[in-house]
Amino acid sequence: MKNLANCTPKEFLVQTNRIRKKAEKWLKDIDLAGIRAKAPVLEEIKEGMSESEIADVMSRNKKALQEQALNNFSEILDGMLEKDVDGTLELLALVNFVDPKDVDNHSMAEYLTNVTELIQDEAVIGFFTSLMRLVQSNSSSVAKK
């Protein structure tokens, strides 16, 4: 099965753009930004607290952040695996160069094996990491204007 790690350069460019367009809609559909924005109310460290009290507050805050992260991750999985199953399958198909209408013509084992190969390819991961940095830096510079 073909993926972004073993395709031609032209296929890579065309397919990553198809994936980008679908991913943009899918991320909105599962409300990833809204889920990631959920954060617990953290306790403040107040002037005059002892080192022990500060340590306790920090420990409770750390636990609250960890619990929120788990809740957020669970909600993201619910979005991917229940709320927008079709969108998730379409992305899985696109990453594997399968026409989304043919997604059921392959086993999950084929998809998972191929996705594992893809995410272990340093060049592909480096490409997407660089793109994310570029998008984030452009977003922050636009926000400052």
Q: Any idea what DSSP says for residue 82?
A: I
Tell me the chain's radius of gyration from C-alpha atoms: 20
Structural domain contains residue 32: yes
Structural domain contains residue 104: yes
Exposed / middle / buried, residue 141 (Cβ in 10 Å: 0-12, 13-18, 19+)? exposed
Domain that holds residue 116: 9-144
pLDDT one-digit tens code per residue, 83-113:
999 999 999 999 899 999 999 999 999 999 9
Structural domain contains residue 49: yes
Tell me which residue of 37, 34, 113 sits closest to 79, measured CA to CA: 34
pLDDT at 142: 46
Instruction: Say how many domains are in the chain.
Output: 1
Structural domain contains residue 4: no
Q: Over 50: is that where the pLDDT of 28 sits?
A: yes
pLDDT one-digit tens code per residue, 124-139:
888 888 877 776 665 4
